[in-house]
Structure 1
């Protein structure tokens, strides 16, 4: 019995060590990328903002955990989810209210009174309001003691309203290009960019929300995507390139700082207040910088999570209508739950999804450098 216990303890320690290694590798990879970008692009200043934001985000998030525990802001696990998630019941949630504002505040300080400050202020607006929508959803969920807060249609209406205001502000200040760039080809789509922009913001925020289901999954993927987006913007060398690239790396730092406490076993969850804001920031920055294709490539994991839900629901409804009994393609969606129920360890799934995201980021950068 004692031998079995020791084996389990050793296995547990090796898991924690592997998580810590993943975190160190991820942080080191982003830091090296920032240093190289600052050396290669003389106008680039990514390293210092990344380090400062990561440090501040981790400290503020760490301070916030006991406060959330004190007022009993704790995660409620849905009954239909994987059974091993019941162990996470009671973990503090709504961490997005700590690390998202850190990213916004630091980026505003960096560019206050700068000629490009208008674009930072506009993007701050959409990110903060999506965080607020997530906060309402989290708050109602805790109040009802259920895993659902706002109804789907209520959430979509609020997201659409904020997205429309954002698009109108951008349009009136010529912040949204009326074309889509694919490699060396530029396709002018005129005013269709506005409904496309609305779709991107809704799709990206909800995809991020669906991805946030395992410890460190979304926060780790977000660090990589924000970093990839920053480098893509620098490669393009367009107007406002350094401004938007710095905003991306600051958001990467905010997510990185949060990840130190969100890694397995998570001491804090981000909640919808974090996941919706991350998705909105990715979508809004990609829209303004004309990098929608890059976001689609680098955010492949986010898209796959969302598509898996759409496919599952569609197949279930169609098969039920035709055969009288619903069938499922996946054991459970979003996609990460399917791999969980297949018997895969949570740490391995998260690490695997990070690795796929890293590959997609590299594919995007190679595509841009060679085109």
Structure 2
């Protein structure tokens, strides 16, 4: 990674610059799409996006002081990057005002579409799990909340409930996966096992990505907007839902950009992954979701690889070797000399590229 560090050495924007670039690219892309499709302001994509962004950003100015008053200050891992120790005390659980606003606007703007309501309930369910996890961490006064097993069981329960609803609602009409070159892969009942796995994997992956100011919120906003554009021709109501949620996460980045005034916590990161996976399942776009989730997948795989390599290389004293300086990989890059804004800027660019690949693959 040393060579890579050298390649980004001259690229070190501020958090504000990254926010402006992110907002400009997303807004400009939606404006261009509205113009291309001849959409009026009543049917446009950019209007719900900007309303969600503005509302979350505005409410954040009221919510953040309240989180401070409630003593929701984040505890920072002592074994993490030393530069993060100064973030101790920054309010967390920011997802508590991001997700409800985004899902509510998404449901209303989609004209109370049943699928949008189901995705909203699923996302809010993951928010609740994240909220309990964050609350326990704060109560224990250390960065430890629910046990991994307990957290996974709760996530699985919501995933099974959502898939049960989807099966009852649509039956065998959504048991296929659309692949490139117009290939349709029928999975039958195996689809539901894959769907449950997708919800668990996606929610945990976005959770792991939330470790650098503006990273999960910004990449999540890009992924949601990209997914919205891809499903727009066939699932316009779910597309509008994704657009509203994308805007809400962009509004959060207004406060979460470096240097962050608030963290989303598991409250916001688990809900992000749950929403992405639920939409991917209902639209049979799990392959496209995998492409759009490339950043999140790499973050997860870096943790799995780190743990596996450590266990495989244990010596007689029980000590193993580390594959990365620290996992997830964004921390490895930080410890290799990258600044937080360099990590975020490069990851934004990669996520945008993944959206373009997803659009090309789906065309």
Fold shared, TM-score > 0.5 on shorter chain: yes
Shift of 1:310: 0.3
Shift of 1:19: 2.5
- Correspondence list, 1:269-308, <5 A: 269-308=263-302
- Which of 320-329 and 296-305 deviates more? 320-329
2:160 aligned partner: 164
Q: Is the 8 A contact 2:15 2:259 kept in 1?
A: no
Shift of 1:90: 0.4
Shift of 1:45: 2.8
Q: Give me the whole-angstrom Cα distance separating, in 2, the residues matched to 1:55 and 1:309.
A: 35
Please say if 1:63 is aligned against 2:59: no
2:196 aligned partner: 198
- Correspondence list, 1:224-243, <5 A: 224-234=222-232, 237-238=233-234, 241-243=235-237
Q: Please, which of 104, 107, 124 is the counterpart of residue 120 of structure 2? A: 124
1:173 aligned partner: 169
Residue ranges of structure 2 left out of the alignment (5+ in a row): 1-10
Q: Give me the whole-angstrom Cα distance separating, in 2, the residues matched to 1:189 and 1:322.
A: 46
1:10 aligned partner: none
Shift of 1:153: 0.2
Change (3 A) 1:325 1:278: same
Q: Give me the whole-angstrom Cα distance separating, in 2, the residues matched to 1:47 and 1:112.
A: 17
Change (3 A) 1:79 1:182: same
SS in 1 for 2:278: helix
Q: Give me the whole-angstrom Cα distance separating, in 1, the residues matched to 2:291 and 2:317.
A: 37
SS in 2 for 1:320: coil
- Summarize deviations over 1:49-88 as a string: whole Å, max 9, x none: 0010000010112210110111111100012111111100
Residue ranges of structure 1 left out of the alignment (5+ in a row): 1-13
- Summarize deviations over 1:153-209 as a string: whole Å, max 9, x none: 000000001111111011100076110100210010001111101100000000001
Shift of 1:48: 0.6
Relative to the length of structure 1, the TM-score reads: 0.90
Q: Give me the whole-angstrom Cα distance separating, in 2, the residues matched to 1:356 and 1:295.
A: 15
- Summarize deviations over 1:216-275 as a string: whole Å, max 9, x none: 0001101110111011112xx22xx11011111111100000000000000000000000
Relative to the length of structure 2, the TM-score reads: 0.92
2:7 aligned partner: none
- Which of 296-305 and 35-44 deviates more? 35-44
SS in 2 for 1:214: coil
